[in-house]
Structure 1
Amino acid sequence: MKKILIVGGVAGGATAAARLRRLSEEDEIILFERDEYISFANCGLPYYIGDVIKDRSKLLVQTVAGMSKRFNLDIRNFSEVVSIDRAGSTVEVKNTKTGETYTETFDHLILSPGAKPIAPPIPGLAEADSIFTLRNVADTDKIKAEVTERSPKRAVVVGGGFIGIEMVENLRELGINVTLVEKLNQVLKPLDYEMAQIIHQELNAHGVNVILGDGVDHFEDAGKKVVLESGMKLDADMVILAIGVAPENKLAKDAGLKLGTRGHIVTTETYEVMDGANGEVIKNIYAIGDAIEVRDFVDGSQTAVPLAWPANRQGRTVADHINGIPFKNHGIQGTSVAKVFNKVFATTGNNVGQLRAKGLPFQQIHAHRGNHAGYYPDSTNIALKLIYDPKTLKVLGAQAVGQEGTEKRIDVIASVMKMGGTIYDLQDMELSYAPPFSAAKDPVNILGYIAQNIDEGVYKTVEWDEIDDIIAGGGYLLDVRTPVEFGAGHVEGSHNLELDTLRDHIDEIPVGKDEPLYITCQVGLRGYLAIRILEDHGFTNLYNLAGGYNTYKAGHYKLAEPNFDVEGSKLGEPEAPEGAKADVNPVKTVDVTGLQCPGPLMATYKAVSEVKEGELVQTIATDFGFVQDVECWCKTNGHTLISQETRGNKYIATIRKGGGASACGLAAADPAVQKNATMVVFDGELDKAIAAMIIAQGAAAQGKDVTLFFTFWGLNVLRKPKAPKVKKNRIEKMFGLMMPKGARRLPLSKMNMFGIGPAMIKSIMKKKNVDDIETMIHKAQDAGVRFIACTMSMELMGIKKEELIDGIEYAGVGTYIASNENVGTTLFI
């Protein structure tokens, strides 16, 4: 019979005790717990405070009496082990209620003391009476009493880790105005920055003030005022300190056990502790849980992972080892999940920041996919990130932010990773499919396909935080989304050429076949399709913007300005004009739940175009990106975004057609006077054609109906660079040879210098990120500008319809004169 003592009665300790008893009915097992409760649901504590868990007793997974009886254990709560005599194999125990001490002998000792909240010596902390930390049931009761009895209006949560984020959500759900303060530039360190940005936006969308890159300097007025390092002062009825946790290591330190650089207990592969002086293994003392260092599964380095699964697993394996049952320690991946309002985030393995710090090679990819089939109701987007070794192709880590089904994908990837799987195993995973649960190609499979394309050299990727510098350095980014999507937001300096028209305009891309060409779309899929087309047309140096505009937009999200209104702010929602909400009955409701971008925006565009000026359209979407897209789209197109609200996992936008303020702040013109704008394009010179296109696009953006009438030499602007052969007489052929073939070959009106001048101006335009003339023409057409070729001039100059670009009309001067009705602007260029 063995006598086994266990220090700490929560996750690891309680699991070890239960497993020990299952393996032996004879052993004497004594469990010491310093506090009142054992085996409580510490991960559920914030949700009891937030009234999500109504019954406090449900937090108690096992009671002292219940576990003692079921497993025949000697459980001693209110008992703190204060010292260890390694040589004598004894411990000294203090009764925390009476102060009495006594000694217990042991054959085996398991240390599971856990971790404690970090409470640095911040000036003013000791004098405060409403600053709390959260570790156990007693802490929970104090915070619960504060919330229910004092009814605080404002709360400050310091720290954006798991506990901090969960406390933010639960306090906010109680109607408290919550401000989150985080010293780092992001919350939730396991996530990479662009993934954490999605959580920042979710926090703002639910009225949480988020202050990043700032820490607490001191407290004033007994903790009622939080003064930050930046000098900002925050009023607070209560403060939650959730800065992080530190290992409970005093007992181990006093016993001379070996500690790591951050104070965690160092153990062997079988969790036996070591002597702090000589590193000798102490065979009968073990340590498990949040207090110990563990081996990182990715590279075998030492780390600390204060999570429930490792603690429970270690408790079981230590019990096995004591009873002679072998096991293999594979290390810890750190797989985790948490809820943040309507979002779920999950991670496994290392993130990019960790891999860079270790100097390990990696490739990262992004994907955005629906959690189930898009045609089945309420599909929502999951943003996924996969990181793998570009040489071995083994999975190094993964992250996901979405809603239902998010953690399922990370669990699958974690399983592949644990088995030593590669990116090719991801695409070969046969996962369950039915429309309510997934798509025939699961998001996990899609990550594998993307990684395969990169591994096989189909294309390279460029990251969201690299592309701006590339464009600034002269790089060319082609955006193959629709003009509506492009107008709702795009990477500054990118050029729009819709995927479905790409084949007809490849010659207009001003990039050499071997030069770098960067492609983007909304999420990466259309970018990939564009790359396949461009490959077949000879382009060899292609890059896809990883995750498309969705990832770029997330990475560049700007935090909402703090709003400390105790009535509850709606951060991130547009402020409706006075009287805008008087009429709340939409004439058209568009349900696009389940559709991913650009579906919701395109459906909104169509619905708004079908209603009358001043009428309301309501769009119901589940795509989180729609929240930002619709606001930008309304501003761009002169509509009024009445409101945005969140109901469960749905985002509801109410839009009034028209009535939006002018972006430049000018008073709206009388539509009867300035409805139209017309230009006669007479000259066929590059600088004048550029001027015409810029003015036309600007007028179209202001809501004008724009007509360009191309006559005589101006027809050369519309010529195709490579026109089909057509039948002409001798004079017509001579005209054709003397005139430039298309906008790309137009001369300058001044300083042409035998063609050197146009080349110079094109080079300058590229460096300044100004669209070339062909792109300007395409964008003007997309914006609804009407192009009319003068048929009389065509006859005189021998120009045939087949020689001119698509999308133009053929008419005479009568049509042009008719377009001058209600004209406000007429130009002759």
Structure 2
Amino acid sequence: MTTQTPRYIIIGGVAGGATAAARIRRLTEKAEIILIEKGAYISYANCGLPYYIGGVIADRDRLFVQTPESFGRRFNIDVRTLSEVIAIDPSSRQVTVRTADGSQYVESYDKLLLSPGASPVVPPLPGIDSEGIFTLRNVADTDRIKSYMTDHDVKRAVIVGGGFIGLEMAENLMHAGAQVAVVEMANQVMAPIDYSMASLVHEHLQQQGVQLYLEQAVDAFSRHDGSLTVHFKSGVSLQADMVLLSIGVRAETRLAQAAGIRLGEMRGIWVDDYLQTSVPDVYAVGDAIEFPHPLTGKPWLNFLAGPANRQARIVADNMVMGNKVKYEGSIGTSIAKVFDLTVASTGLPAKRLKMMDIPYLSATIHIGAHAGYYPGSLQMDIKITFSPTDGKLYGAQIVGYDGVDKRIDQYALAIKQGAIVADLTRLEHAYAPPFSSAKDPVAITGYVAGNILSGKMSPLYWRELRDADLTGVTLVDVRTPDEYALGTIDGAVNIPLDDLRERMDEIPTGRPVWLFCGIGLRGYLASNILKDNGYAEVRNLIGGLKTYRAATARIVPPVGFAAAGDSASSTETASAEKAVVRIDACGIQCPGPILRLKQAIDTLAPGDRLEVTATDAAFPRDAEAWCHTTGHRFLGRRAEGGVYTALIEKSTACAVESARSLPTGQGKTLILFSDDLDKTLATFVLANGAAATGQKVSIFFTFWGLNAIKKAHKPKVSKDLFGRMFSWMLPSDSTRLALSKMNMMGIGARMMRHIMTRKGVDSLESLRQQAIDNGVEFIACQMTMDVMGVKREELLDHVTVGGVATYMERADRANVNLFI
């Protein structure tokens, strides 16, 4: 008695299909395996296609892991390329196959595996079929693009879609000599990561010369005189020599649907835990299937090669040995090279958690990939999301250079094992200075998240700060004065961390205190000091100014393509006669690089040049700002491999002094010294007028001017004898202010207010509130408050307290300063 040899038919020969076929053969020699692929190739390096187009991979043959012939011979598999299965009949267990010449035949199966993959999304826009418009999904697409670029002089390329493939193609088309514009309908590139992390990618893309058109939808294409035009719905249009569509892909399910195989909620092929479809003995893997997400339990589509290969091995075992191995699901771990950056993601980002109404917290850090004292420590930006109740880890995102891959894999493993954030601190990392720090970045995120969970640190997120009404909040920049001078957040007062204990009396205790620094560490240390000294509501900006600036930076729409060879980020070449001093500030956290710059420039002679390299992406911008405020000449910048270089020429003492004496901005500052009603009215009228033009306005209230910002209903405060005397002699609030002339024991002031009401002129108190609403900054002079015994609690909640340095810093940025 003989046993019939089982016949396995596999539809699709890339990734999942080829892997399953090889695994089936390794499990049994007693099986007939037929692999049917509609294309000409199987088992090729799909993810390597952009790098072949860009010339990074020079040899086309290296894209192919196996040829159909070598694969078939090694594994004794009947490989049929250029053959397409056009129908499945589950009742008779047969498939209909169409060959390249159009002929058809029928094959029977015992078990069938579907691995049809996904197809690119091509919207039905006018002109979409024009010559020079491509998608990239397979070898045939790659050959068409390569051939077109060989036959045409492609100097300008437009990529529609800012996903992983789109950005990889942006890099490779630039390698090939083209100028590149990326058009994305969303407000960010790389959908799997949160906006705050994508903003770091935006910054890098612009540094590399890529033109970003975000929140722009393509409406049509046209071709005239050999040139393509990409038309946006906004009315903007771009001229291009080539267009690549990278809008996304959709699961290829037409064959399964026609056979009556069940589709799921996401319109992918439904499979059970054993990867079997709704039809017995028919299985499916890869991009075409949907499967519950391990964290949410909700079905989702996952277009990644890693999970497809994992599924293929499991499904082969189940097809040969019966349904014994369950698939655990994928959390979506992905990584991409974007010029010098590496961008990776795993699990659920904050935006998906928010969309699904899942409560979460997040922690963001900026840290060196390895020990800072070992050369070449490049910045790594990490964000994790986690449960606010038990700390269960939901997701992780990394933007960096070295070591991103190994860290994202650690996070992925932890998430799939159901880890909590505390488990990140228990991971054992290999440590040596070239590879990590004694406290690895993964462990640091665990510590930061633990501090948030325990309440030791109260997080302030960038969106909260951006959207907040700071009335009633004391915003404190705890960086050094040098850093503060390079720019801060509007409304912030500068109290450096190291001075905080001595200057704590400058921070009111009865109102929320929001702290920030460069990356979040000093803000955390400052919050510990304040909380332990009785401040009840203290929050620290997560990710610090680096995250806030990147996330709130406005991306200015480009104006067409630049001429060939233009580069806004190139550094001027130092002429031979100029002395150049080189300073290495790599691996040093902010403010280290800018302090090194300042120290070095002081030792140079006028005309000498200083070249500073740093791994802090914000350093070139800070260096340029520093030059603008000090009068030294900023010659240029460049970025390569995560190292940022700034070139500066030292100016003469006269030039430096001249720069310091010139207004550096378009803001307005006013000093209100008087408490006369008419002069106070004039102050708020001028402030509102300036604020209405969009300019930054600050009013510094000193001596009698403090009376204009006193509360009408003040809390009871303790004062010494002199403080009580000033309270008795001075107006209690703005309603008690007198005219500078014709006051007549208060009659003139009352008459003035009456006339203003009759004429429809806003009252002093209304004008003051308008100024607050318009974002005018109110600064009360600390010294005057001390002398006159005025307590912070007596002043309006919107008021911040500062000294002469605070005013002078505002005045340096303004081009008008008024004393009233």
Fold agreement, TM-score > 0.5: yes
CA contact (8 A) 1:208 1:571 kept: no
Measured in 1, the distance between the counterparts of 2:209 and 2:121 equals: 27
Report the CA distance shift for 1:828/1:205 in structure 2 as closer, same or farther (over 3 A). Answer: closer
Q: Matched residue of 1:421: which SS?
A: coil
2:636 is the alignment partner of 1:635: no
TM-score normalized by structure 1? 0.81
Measured in 2, the distance between the counterparts of 1:669 and 1:365 equals: 41
Give the one of 502, 514, 519 matched to 1:518. 514
Deviation at 1:601, TM superposition (A): 1.4
Measured in 2, the distance between the counterparts of 1:669 and 1:166 equals: 43
**Partner deviation per Cα, 1:472-518 (whole Å, 9 max, x = no partner):** 44322111011111222222111111000000000110242xx3211
2:526 is the alignment partner of 1:530: yes
Measured in 1, the distance between the counterparts of 2:638 and 2:727 equals: 54
2:612 is the alignment partner of 1:619: yes
**Partner deviation per Cα, 1:299-339 (whole Å, 9 max, x = no partner):** 11011110001110111110011122622322210001001
Report the CA distance shift for 1:583/1:260 in structure 2 as closer, same or farther (over 3 A). Answer: farther
**Partner deviation per Cα, 1:419-447 (whole Å, 9 max, x = no partner):** 11101101111111110011101111111
Deviation at 1:766, TM superposition (A): 8.5
Give the one of 364, 367, 375 matched to 1:366. 364
Which amino acid is the alignment partner of residue 114 of structure 1? Answer: G
Report the CA distance shift for 1:600/1:586 in structure 2 as closer, same or farther (over 3 A). Answer: farther
Give the one of 184, 187, 190 matched to 1:188. 190
Deviation at 1:570, TM superposition (A): 2.7
CA contact (8 A) 2:265 2:299 kept: no
Deviation at 1:345, TM superposition (A): 0.7
Give the one of 27, 34, 37 matched to 1:30. 34
Deviation at 1:348, TM superposition (A): 0.4
Measured in 2, the distance between the counterparts of 1:486 and 1:669 equals: 18
Alignment partner, residue 457 of structure 2 = 459
CA contact (8 A) 1:523 1:548 kept: yes
Alignment partner, residue 114 of structure 2 = 111
Moved more, 243-252 or 604-613: 604-613
2:777 is the alignment partner of 1:769: yes
Instruction: Output aligned runs, 1:13-162, within 5 Å.
Output: 13-96=17-100, 98-126=101-129, 128-162=130-164
Q: Matched residue of 1:435: which SS?
A: coil
Alignment partner, residue 342 of structure 1 = 340
- Percent sequence identity is 42
Deviation at 1:193, TM superposition (A): 0.5
CA contact (8 A) 1:204 1:559 kept: no
Measured in 1, the distance between the counterparts of 2:721 and 2:651 equals: 48
CA contact (8 A) 1:686 1:746 kept: no
CA contact (8 A) 1:209 1:560 kept: no
CA contact (8 A) 1:205 1:572 kept: yes
Report the CA distance shift for 1:150/1:615 in structure 2 as closer, same or farther (over 3 A). Answer: same
Moved more, 179-188 or 145-154: 145-154
Report the CA distance shift for 1:828/1:488 in structure 2 as closer, same or farther (over 3 A). Answer: closer
Report the CA distance shift for 1:201/1:670 in structure 2 as closer, same or farther (over 3 A). Answer: closer
Measured in 2, the distance between the counterparts of 1:560 and 1:573 equals: 20
**Partner deviation per Cα, 1:188-236 (whole Å, 9 max, x = no partner):** 0001011001111111111111101011111112561111111111111
Instruction: Output aligned runs, 1:750-769, within 5 Å.
Output: 751=731, 768-769=776-777
**Partner deviation per Cα, 1:666-722 (whole Å, 9 max, x = no partner):** x958989xxxxxxxx9x999999xx9xxxxxxxxxxxxxxxxxx9xx99xxxxxxxx
**Partner deviation per Cα, 1:130-179 (whole Å, 9 max, x = no partner):** 11111111111111122233231111111111111111110012221111
Alignment partner, residue 169 of structure 2 = 167
Q: Matched residue of 2:326: which SS?
A: coil
Report the CA distance shift for 1:750/1:541 in structure 2 as closer, same or farther (over 3 A). Answer: closer
**Partner deviation per Cα, 1:44-93 (whole Å, 9 max, x = no partner):** 00000001011111100111111111111111111100100110000000
Which amino acid is the alignment partner of residue 622 of structure 2? Answer: D
Deviation at 1:769, TM superposition (A): 3.3
Measured in 1, the distance between the counterparts of 2:109 and 2:819 equals: 100
Alignment partner, residue 277 of structure 2 = 273
CA contact (8 A) 2:111 2:281 kept: yes
Measured in 2, the distance between the counterparts of 1:570 and 1:298 equals: 45
2:563 is the alignment partner of 1:590: no
Deviation at 1:284, TM superposition (A): 0.5
Q: Matched residue of 2:19: which SS?
A: helix
Which amino acid is the alignment partner of residue 772 of structure 1? Answer: A
Alignment partner, residue 818 of structure 1 = none
Alignment partner, residue 384 of structure 1 = 382
CA contact (8 A) 1:42 1:135 kept: yes
Report the CA distance shift for 1:549/1:314 in structure 2 as closer, same or farther (over 3 A). Answer: same
Q: Matched residue of 1:221: which SS?
A: strand
Report the CA distance shift for 1:660/1:583 in structure 2 as closer, same or farther (over 3 A). Answer: farther
Report the CA distance shift for 1:345/1:584 in structure 2 as closer, same or farther (over 3 A). Answer: farther
CA contact (8 A) 2:311 2:327 kept: no
TM-score normalized by structure 2? 0.81
CA contact (8 A) 1:480 1:520 kept: yes
CA contact (8 A) 1:376 1:436 kept: yes
Report the CA distance shift for 1:366/1:737 in structure 2 as closer, same or farther (over 3 A). Answer: closer
Deviation at 1:379, TM superposition (A): 0.5
Q: Matched residue of 2:463: which SS?
A: coil
Which amino acid is the alignment partner of residue 406 of structure 1? Answer: V
Alignment partner, residue 301 of structure 1 = 298
Which amino acid is the alignment partner of residue 153 of structure 1? Answer: K
CA contact (8 A) 1:224 1:237 kept: yes
Deviation at 1:408, TM superposition (A): 1.6
Deviation at 1:356, TM superposition (A): 1.2
Structure 2 alignment gaps of length 5 or more: 663-670, 684-701, 705-718, 739-764, 783-800, 812-817
Alignment partner, residue 204 of structure 2 = 202
Moved more, 349-358 or 639-648: 639-648
Instruction: Output aligned runs, 1:717-728, within 5 Å.
Output: none
Deviation at 1:755, TM superposition (A): 13
Instruction: Output aligned runs, 1:734-749, within 5 Å.
Output: none
Report the CA distance shift for 1:585/1:294 in structure 2 as closer, same or farther (over 3 A). Answer: farther
**Partner deviation per Cα, 1:547-601 (whole Å, 9 max, x = no partner):** 1111101101232552512414435679x8xxx9767845422111111222111
Alignment partner, residue 564 of structure 2 = 567
Q: Matched residue of 2:365: which SS?
A: strand
CA contact (8 A) 1:125 1:219 kept: yes
Report the CA distance shift for 1:660/1:396 in structure 2 as closer, same or farther (over 3 A). Answer: farther
Deviation at 1:359, TM superposition (A): 0.9
CA contact (8 A) 1:640 1:659 kept: no
Deviation at 1:267, TM superposition (A): 1.2
Q: Matched residue of 2:531: which SS?
A: helix
Which amino acid is the alignment partner of residue 167 of structure 2? Answer: I
CA contact (8 A) 1:30 1:73 kept: yes
Measured in 2, the distance between the counterparts of 1:306 and 1:587 equals: 51
Structure 1 alignment gaps of length 5 or more: 275-281, 673-680, 692-709, 715-735, 786-826
Give the one of 535, 541, 544 matched to 2:537. 541
Q: Matched residue of 2:321: which SS?
A: coil
Which amino acid is the alignment partner of residue 183 of structure 1? Answer: M
Q: Matched residue of 1:504: which SS?
A: coil
Alignment partner, residue 287 of structure 2 = 290
Measured in 2, the distance between the counterparts of 1:391 and 1:28 equals: 53
Report the CA distance shift for 1:511/1:628 in structure 2 as closer, same or farther (over 3 A). Answer: farther
CA contact (8 A) 1:685 1:748 kept: no
CA contact (8 A) 1:376 1:435 kept: yes
